[in-house]
Amino acid sequence: MKKILLVCAAGMSTSMLVKRMLAHASTINETVDIQALSIAEFDSVVDTADIVMLGPQVRYQKTQVENIVQGRVPVLVIDMKHYGAMDGQAVLATAFEAISKSNQ
């Protein structure tokens, strides 16, 4: 099971995206654990994650997040177009691709 952390300013704007990602995962028979957290909360669970994905509104904190993660998992900023459209399928595909590359 892949664990994906979505990080935004307060952890609330990503909740709809989480629902759409989970819905798509179920249609392709993938089991995933996706959490939406605020930037202040994510470091308490990052050690169990396969990827950290930042909402576009906190992209300026990518370096800070990378420093906390210390290369253990990929850190990506969610494409603004996919985030704005709440395109769970595209965001999930991006996450899977990044996880796969990091495991090579």
Mean pLDDT of the chain, nearest integer: 93
User: Under the phi-then-psi rule, with left for phi > 0, alpha for psi from -120 to 50, and beta for the rest, what region is 2?
Assistant: beta
* Nearest one of 92, 43, 97 to 72, comparing CA atoms: 43
pLDDT at 21 over 80: yes
pLDDT digits (tens, 9 = 90+) for 27-43: 999 999 999 998 888 88
11 carries an active-site annotation: no
The Cβ of residue 57 has, within 10 Å, a number of other Cβ atoms equal to 17
Name the catalytic one among 8, 21, 92, 95: 8
pLDDT, tens digit (0-9, with 9 covering 90-100), for 65-99: 999 999 999 999 999 999 999 999 999 999 999 99
The pTM score is 0.94
